[in-house]
Amino acid sequence: MIAVIQRVSEASVTIEGIVKGRIGTGFLVLLGITHTDTREDLEWLGRKIIGLRVFGDADGKMNLDLASVNGNILLISQFTLHASTKKGNRPSFIEAARPEVAIPLYEQAIGFLSAELGRPIETGAFGADMKVALINDGPVTIVIDSKNRV
């Protein structure tokens, strides 16, 4: 499971002209699920996301987590994070999980992150054509792969 986490001052996702999710300060999380991912990957990654200390403290040092700044999460499923570009110029997505695996894990991720944060998070819609807008604060962008824990 791969997450691209962007610290944002605001972010939104629009589907067919309608804003589906919107946050102020927090994280825009792009989540890529592969066919070997499990609930264990999800929980490990979710705790990492919630615990990331990348918000500025009184001294301007990246030392605060989401809870400390009353931040929110906008979670977007993005299978293209598992693109392989080893051969040719057209990416292969065979490592991306099929919907029957990815949808339940994506829904579990929503529940897990909401529970860990202590309030509902905002989301896109699995498989939809989404327009994502954000103001990356910093910029701060962090990539975490649950398969690279050590």
Instruction: Please answer whether residues 132 and 22 qualify as being in contact, where contact means their C-beta atoms are separated by less than 8 angstroms.
Output: no
**Is 27 annotated as catalytic?**
no
For residue 109, which phi and psi values (nearest 5 degrees)? -65, -40
**What Rg, from alpha-carbon coordinates, does the chain have?**
15
Instruction: Select which of 34, 79, 112, 123 is catalytic.
Output: 79
Buried (b) or exposed (e) across 80-116, using 16+ Cβ within 10 A?
ebbbeeeeeeeeeeebbbeeebbeebbeebbebbbeb
Instruction: Select which of 36, 38, 80, 93 is catalytic.
Output: 80
Q: How many residues does the chain have?
A: 150
Instruction: Select which of 34, 78, 112, 123 is catalytic.
Output: 78
CA distance 53 to 65: 4
- Provide the token pair at 86: 């080893």
- Cα-Cα-Cα-Cα torsion 22, 75, 109, 5, nearest 10 degrees, comes to -130
**Is 108 annotated as catalytic?**
no
Query: Which amino acids are annotated catalytic?
Result: 78-80
